[in-house]
Amino acid sequence: MSSPGTQSTPASTEPKHPSRHLLEKSNRKAYLDLCVPLHKAAIKGDWDTAKGILTNNPTLLSASITKGWQTALHIAAGARHIHFVEELVKMMDKEDLALQDNKENTALSFAAGAGAIEIAEIMIQKNKLLPTIQTGKGLTPFFMAALLGRSEMACNLYRETYPTLNETNRKDLFFSFIDTGLYDLAIKMLEDDTTLATARNSNAETALHVLARRPLEFGGRSTSGMCSRLMNSLVSGIEDTYKSLKQTKALELVDCLWDQILKHDDDDVMRLITEPSEVLFDATRLGNFLYRHASIFNLVHETGSIKDIIVTYADHDDENNNILHLAAKLAPQNQLNLVSGAALQMQRELVWFEEVKKIVQPLSIDMKNKDGKTPRELFTSEHEELLRKGESWMKNTANSCMLVATIITTVVFAAAFSIPGGIADNTGAPKFLKDTAFLIFAISNGVSLFSSSTSMLMFLYILTSRYAENDFLKSLPLKLMVGLASLFISMTSMMIAFSTAFYLSCHGLGFVSDFIFILTFVPVVLFVFLQYPLLCDMFLSTYYSSLIFQPRKHMIQ
C-alpha cells in the first residue's frame, strides 16, 4: 500500500488540544469521579449518565478524559453511538469539535476510521472545516477512511477533501484505493485527474500493472453440498451481490484506464504496458483468467496489433519461459477450487492454455525453456497428478451413476411386460388400453427405458475412454453431462410410470393413492438437489469457461 505524502491545505494551523488538567496527579480524585464514569458512558452510549455529568461539569466538554487526550466526543464517535454524539454536539462549541488527541486525531478521524457516516455528517454540519484537519502523520479523515477500506465514508468525504490534495497525494491515494479494493473511488479520482492512468507507484507500476497482479477476489461458485448451500443461501446471496458490484467497478476501472492509455501515441502506450513488466505477462503468470482478470486479457486482446507487440515484448522470464510456458504451469489451489472435481479443474486449465496459445507467435508454441521443455511438454508434466485425479474422479462418478442407470433399465424393462390391471381374457389386450392414464404409463415407461439405456452407454464410454489430456476439454465432460441428464429423465419417467400404474391398480383407495403419488416424486426432487450442482458445474465449465475470453460487447468504447 502506498504511503501518503504530506497534504497541502488551505491554511496551516497549530493543532488544538483539549484541556489536560484532569490528567494531572493532583487531580486524581476528580479524574476518577468524573472522567472514568464519563468514559464508560461514552463507550456504552449511555447519554443519560453522560448528560448528568456534563451538565454539572461543562468544562468536561473540552477536556481530555483519557491518557491519550481523547475527549468524550472522540470516544463516542469511535464507538459509533449516533444519539450520544448528536446530543453531545449540541452542547459543544463549534471550535471544540476540532480538538485533537495526542496523535492529533480529531473526533471526525475516529468516526471516519469506524465508518460512522451519520456521526461524521452530524459533526461536519456544525463545523465545515473538520474534513481538512490533518493528523500528526498528515492524514485527513478522508485518508483515514480510504486506507481502512471505509468506502461509503470515503465517498462522503471525497468532494470536501479532493481540492486540498497535491499531485503526490492524489497518486498515492489512487493506488491506495486499488490496493484496498475501493474501485468506485479510484474511478472518481481518474475522472477528475486523467493523468492518474499513466501514473506509477513506488514500484514504477501503473494501475493496470497492479490490477493485472491482483489476487483473485471474486471466487467461483460454491463447491459445498446442497444442504450447506440452502442453509447459507441468504448470506451467500448478499455476499454474491456485493462481489458482483465490486467486480463491475473493477471492470469499469480497467475500461477507464485503457480508454486513457490508448489516447497516447504508440511509443507511450508501449512504455506504459511493458515497463517495468508486461501486463499480459503478469496476468498470465498469475493465472488471472476469471472475472476482472479475463477482462484485462480481453482488453489487451481487443487492441489488435498492440496485442501482438505486447506478446512480442513478453518474450521470456529468467528461466526462458515464454508467455505460453507460464500458462502451462499448474494454477494455485485457490484458483483450481473455483470448480468442483479434478476433471473440471483439468478442463479449466486446458481452456486457459489453449486461449493463450491463440495469441502467441507460432515460434513460441514449440520454444523450449531452460529445462528443454516446450509449453505443451511443461503442461503435461505440471498437470500429471491433476490428470490422474481427473481420471479417477470421472471413473468413480461414472461407476456410481451407471449402477443406478442399470437398475432403472432392469425395472422399467420388466414393467413393460407387467401390465397394470392385467389383460382381457377374450381379447388379450390390456384392460385399461383406452384409458389416458395407461397411455401415460406406456409413454413414460418407454422414455425411461430409452433414457436409462442412453445413460448407460454414456457412462460406459467414459469408463472405457483413453483419458488423454484433450479428452477433458470437451469429450468427457459432454458425455458426463448427457449421461447425468439422461439419468435424470429416466428416473423422472420411471416415477411417472409407477404413479400411473399404481393409480390404475389402486385408484379406488382415495387419499392413499394421492399420497403415494406425491411420495414417488421425493426421489426425483432429491436427485435434483444432489446432482443438479454437478450438472450445472459441468455445463458452466464446458461452455462458460470458453466464453470468459469472448466478451459479449466491446470493452473499449
The Cα–Cα gap between 488 and 494 comes to 10
Band the pLDDT of 508: cuts 50, 70, 90. Answer: low
Q: Look at residue 267 in the predicted model and tell me its pLDDT.
A: 82
Nearest alpha-carbon partner for 516 in 532, 500, 536: 500
What mean pLDDT is predicted for residues 406-429? 75
The SS3 of residue 19 is: strand
Q: Look at residue 458 in the predicted model and tell me its pLDDT.
A: 95
**Do 503 and 435 contact (CB within 8 A), yes or no?**
no
- Over residues 27-55, the pLDDT tens digits come to 999 999 999 999 999 999 999 999 999 99
Which residues partner with 423 through β-bridges? Answer: 430
- Over residues 420-470, the pLDDT tens digits come to 665 655 665 666 666 777 888 889 989 999 999 999 999 999 999 999 999
Which residues partner with 19 through β-bridges? Answer: 63
In this predicted structure, the answer to whether residue 239 has a pLDDT above a threshold of 50 is no
Within its chain, how far is the Cα of 184 from the centroid?
A: 16
Residue labelled with grid coordinates 432403472: 408
Q: Establish how many alpha carbons lie within 13 A of residue 553's alpha carbon, considering only the half-sphere containing its beta carbon.
A: 3
Residues 470, 474, 477, 483, CA torsion sign: negative
Q: Look at residue 362 in the predicted model and tell me its pLDDT.
A: 80
Question: What totals of helices (H) and strands (E) does the chain contain, helices first?
Answer: 29, 0
Q: Establish how many alpha carbons lie within 13 A of residue 379's alpha carbon, considering only the half-sphere containing its beta carbon.
A: 25
Which residues partner with 430 through β-bridges? Answer: 423
- Over residues 379-405, the pLDDT tens digits come to 999 999 999 999 999 999 999 999 999
Q: How far apart are the first and last CA of the chain?
A: 31
Task: Determine if the pTM surpasses 0.75.
Answer: no
What is the 8-class DSSP label of residue 544? I
Q: Look at residue 348 in the predicted model and tell me its pLDDT.
A: 85
**Do 461 and 471 contact (CB within 8 A), yes or no?**
no
- Over residues 165-181, the pLDDT tens digits come to 788 888 888 888 888 78
Mean pLDDT over the full length of the chain: 79
Q: Which residue has the higher pLDDT, 71 or 271?
A: 71
Q: Which residue has the higher pLDDT, 244 or 443?
A: 443
Residue labelled with grid coordinates 400404474: 501
Q: Establish how many alpha carbons lie within 13 A of residue 37's alpha carbon, considering only the half-sphere containing its beta carbon.
A: 15
Q: Which residues contact 351 (CB under 8 A, 6 or more apart)?
A: 473, 545, 546
What mean pLDDT is predicted for residues 416-421? 70
Band the pLDDT of 510: cuts 50, 70, 90. Answer: low
**Do 369 and 378 contact (CB within 8 A), yes or no?**
yes
In this predicted structure, the answer to whether residue 92 has a pLDDT above a threshold of 90 is yes
The SS3 of residue 237 is: helix
Q: Which residues contact 548 (CB under 8 A, 6 or more apart)?
A: 289, 290, 291, 294
How many C-beta atoms surround the C-beta of residue 214 within 10 A?
A: 18
The Cα–Cα gap between 186 and 165 comes to 14
- Over residues 1-31, the pLDDT tens digits come to 444 444 444 444 678 999 999 999 899 999 9
HEC per residue, 138-168? CCCHHHHHHHCCCHHHHHHHHHHHHHHCCHH
Nearest alpha-carbon partner for 322 in 390, 378, 395: 378
- Over residues 120-177, the pLDDT tens digits come to 999 999 999 999 898 888 788 988 888 787 888 988 888 878 887 788 888 888 888 8
The SS3 of residue 174 is: helix
Residues 394, 400, 402, 404, CA torsion sign: negative
In this predicted structure, the answer to whether residue 523 has a pLDDT above a threshold of 80 is yes
Q: Look at residue 210 in the predicted model and tell me its pLDDT.
A: 84
What mean pLDDT is predicted for residues 526-542? 78
Percent of the chain with pLDDT over 90: 35
Domain 21-158: CATH superfamily is Ankyrin repeat-containing domain (1.25.40.20)
- Over residues 357-380, the pLDDT tens digits come to 887 778 888 899 899 999 999 999
**Residue type at 135 in one-letter notation:** T
Per-residue cell: 366? 514449440
Cα dist from 97 to 63, 80, 153, 549, whole Å: 12, 16, 18, 53
In this predicted structure, the answer to whether residue 330 has a pLDDT above a threshold of 60 is yes
Most confident of 133-147, 280-294, 298-312, 390-404: 390-404
**Residue type at 454 in one-letter notation:** T
Q: Look at residue 550 in the predicted model and tell me its pLDDT.
A: 56
Residues 85, 89, 91, 93, CA torsion sign: positive
Which residues partner with 63 through β-bridges? Answer: 19
